[in-house]
């Protein structure tokens, strides 16, 4: 009888998480095979079809450092210092994310990032198999079936364990759910998105401030724009699916132009192909995926979007997926029993995934509806002051999520306590000048414990 191979693992999906996990495991001495449904993006170009650029933050960068990929990725990243809010009357206001340029986020091109990560995984020694979409699993015989989308041919491979890094529509998740109750439910946001492009200016430079994430908040809907290193911006229009305006009323390029001329007027001259982009690019649905269980004993486990897809409003889906990769690699190394390793991984990560999913949903309301409210701006001003006066106790939730690596669940809970404090302290005030600072300091010390900081 053949012995189980204790240092071999099979990954499904060579997207962002799959490539990082492969590298982390190979660097720890594992033999890794990765099966990817699409062709090799390094040969045929990236056909991702969704969100062209992504915000990379500290959690993601930490994983990239461990995978030896941070330096290569950062060569293509564009710094974003804060939100550049575009008001309806054309005024703009830069709201910094952190204290200084050590607390920023980075815009990276999804396709470029994927290519860099695949190169690094392959160089490290991972075996990558493209044009191999998982199409069936026999968990008893431990064989997986893959279909080549080019000719429909099928291929089988034996596995010890499968790791599903195959994204929100995970085929592995579907195969697992025939064997174990995963408690799967998907909550649709009722809003979708569409991408448009701001090309470089005539002289080849960025046509608006490059080092910012631009936001046009308009109540029930919004636009954002992130810079790309080729001096373009990817604009994402988020609209409800129903109502007015919505994707039900804004149906073609002409409708889109009318909406932009009314609500995003300063963006209109920046997007010359507005009608074409709107009609060519598909509208993407936004949803949160909840599972109660992420693994099938020691035979299969899910991570990243396959386990916990979230709405994109905290810019953390990829960052969280990368953090999953580090955690799974650590649990696999610490625990030779895979079922125990997968269970420990789930126990650590599931509550944190739930927390960032909730924060991502909350952030949508904040981004589209709050960033220009007076009470919100006063609370933010107090938040900044308290972060300076009490750095050991008070940190804006955005910073805890984005610049620190404390568990998401901790950031969520502390954020809740801080929000209550900010509401209480600013109640009845329209400016910070009227606050009683000794009472404020006392309340902070009384109500907030010391922050857990990264080592
Ligand atoms: C509009 C939008 C904006 C976003 N912005 C941000 C952001 O700013 N910051 C951030 O951190 N996150 C962001 N995200 C989230 C981020 O895109 C995801 O969380 C991230 O891509 C998850 O990585 P993954 O590897 O789990 O899945 P994916 O990146 O989806 O990769 C899955 C891979 O599996 C492959 N695959 C699928 N099915 C099969 C199969 N049957 N067999 C083999 N392979 C298969 C796919 O081809 C793909 O390569 C955004 C998402 C959206 C929709």
Give the model confidence (pLDDT) of 279-334 as tens digits: 999 999 999 999 999 999 999 999 999 999 999 999 999 999 999 999 999 999 99
Structure-derived torsion over alpha carbons of residues 29, 176, 353, 72, reported in degrees to the nearest 10: 40
Within a domain: residue 455? no
25/165 same-domain check: yes
Same domain as 162, residue 277: no
56 and 156 fall within a common domain: yes
- The pTM score is 0.96
Residues 239 and 258 in one domain: yes
Q: Kindly give the distance from the C-alpha atom of residue 280 to the centroid of ligand 1, in angstroms, as a whole number.
A: 21
Where residue 366 falls among pLDDT bands split at 50, 70, 90?
A: confident
**Whether 377 and 427 share a structural domain:** yes
> Which residue in the block uniquely carries the two structure tokens 């697992």?
176
Q: What is the number of helices (H) and of strands (E) in the chain?
A: 15, 19
**Residue range of the domain that includes 208:** 188-284
- Same domain for 59 and 140? yes
Are 119 and 133 contained in the same domain? yes
- Report pLDDT for 365: 80
204: left (phi over 0), alpha (psi -120 to 50) or beta: left
Same domain (yes/no): 279, 343: no
Q: What would the two tokens of residue 261 be? A: 């001329």
Q: How far is the CA of 309 from the centre of ligand 1 (A)?
A: 9
Residue nearest to atom 37 of ligand 1 (CA): 166
Mark whether 36 and 129 lie in a shared domain: yes
Distance in Å, CA 432 to ligand 1 centroid: 42
The residue from 362, 393, 425 where one domain ends is 362
| Ligand 1 pocket, residues with Cβ under 6 angstroms | 12-18, 35-38, 50-51, 54-55, 133-134, 165-167, 171, 193, 236, 284, 304-306, 312, 315-319, 321
Domain holding 161: CATH number? Answer: 3.50.50.60
> Considering only CA atoms, which of 427, 364, 387 is closest in space to residue 98?
387
| Position in ligand 1 atom list of the atom nearest CA 304 | 26
DSSP states of 240-293 as a string?
ESSSSSSTTT--SHHHHHHHHHHH-GGGGGG-TTHHHHHHHSPPEEEEEEE-S-
Provide the domain count of the chain.
3
More confident residue, 367 or 210: 210
85 domain-assigned: no
- Cα of 445 vs centre of ligand 1, distance in Å, is 41
Domain assignment present for residue 313? The answer is: yes
Residues 18 and 121 in one domain: yes
- Ligand 1 centroid–CA 165 distance in Å is 9
Do residues 56 and 200 both lie within one domain? no
| 448 contacts 393 by C-beta, under 8 angstroms | yes
> pLDDT confidence of 372, banded at 50, 70, 90?
low
Average pLDDT over residues 157-169: 98
Q: Are residues 271 and 410 in the same domain?
A: no
pLDDT at 31 over 70: yes
What is the arithmetic mean of pLDDT over 429-437? 96
Domain boundary, last residue among 362, 397, 420 = 362
């Amino acid at each position: 009888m053949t012995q189980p191979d204790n240092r071999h693992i099979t990954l499904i999906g060579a997207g962002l998480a799959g490539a990082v996990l492969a590298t982390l495991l190979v660097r720890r001495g594992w033999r890794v095979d990765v099966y990817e449904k699409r062709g090799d993006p390094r040969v045929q170009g990236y056909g991702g079809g969704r969100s062209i650029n992504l915000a990379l933050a500290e959690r993601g960068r930490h994983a990239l450092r461990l995978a030896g990929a941070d330096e290569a990725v950062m060569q293509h990243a564009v710094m974003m210092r804060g939100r550049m809010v575009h008001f309806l009357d054309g005024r703009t206001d830069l709201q910094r994310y952190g204290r200084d340029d050590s607390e920023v986020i980075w815009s990276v091109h999804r396709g470029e990032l994927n290519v860099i990560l695949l190169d690094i995984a392959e160089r490290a020694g991972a075996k990558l198999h493209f044009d191999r979409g998982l199409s069936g699993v026999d968990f008893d015989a431990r064989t997986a079936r893959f279909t080549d989308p080019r000719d429909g041919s099928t291929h089988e491979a034996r596995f010890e364990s499968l790791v599903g890094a195959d994204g929100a529509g995970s085929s592995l998740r579907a195969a697992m759910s025939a064997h174990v109750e995963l408690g799967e439910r998907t909550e649709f946001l009722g809003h979708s998105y569409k991408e448009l492009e701001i090309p470089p200016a005539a002289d080849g430079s960025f046509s608006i401030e490059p080092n910012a994430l631009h936001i046009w908040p308009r109540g029930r809907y919004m636009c954002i724009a992130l810079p790309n290193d080729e001096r373009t911006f990817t604009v994402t229009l988020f609209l409800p699916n129903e109502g007015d305006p919505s994707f039900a009323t804004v149906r073609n390029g002409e409708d889109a132009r009318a909406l932009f001329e009314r609500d995003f007027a300063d963006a209109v001259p920046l997007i010359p192909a507005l009608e074409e982009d709107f009609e060519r690019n598909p509208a993407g649905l936004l949803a949160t995926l909840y599972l109660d269980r992420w693994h099938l004993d020691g035979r299969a486990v899910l991570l990243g979007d396959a386990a916990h897809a979230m709405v994109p409003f905290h810019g953390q889906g990829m960052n969280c997926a990368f953090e999953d990769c580090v955690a799974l690699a650590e649990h696999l190394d610490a625990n030779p029993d895979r079922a125990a390793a997968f269970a420990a991984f789930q126990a650590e990560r599931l509550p944190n995934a739930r927390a960032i999913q909730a924060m991502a949903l909350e952030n949508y309301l904040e981004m589209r509806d709050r960033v220009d409210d007076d009470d919100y701006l006063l609370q933010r001003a107090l938040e900044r002051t308290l972060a300076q006066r009490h750095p050991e106790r008070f940190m804006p939730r955005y910073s805890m999520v984005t610049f620190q690596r404390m568990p998401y669940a901790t950031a969520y809970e502390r954020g809740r306590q801080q929000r209550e404090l900010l509401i209480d302290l600013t109640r009845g005030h329209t400016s910070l000048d009227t606050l009683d600072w000794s009472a404020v300091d006392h309340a902070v010390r009384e109500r907030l414990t010391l922050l857990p900081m990264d080592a």
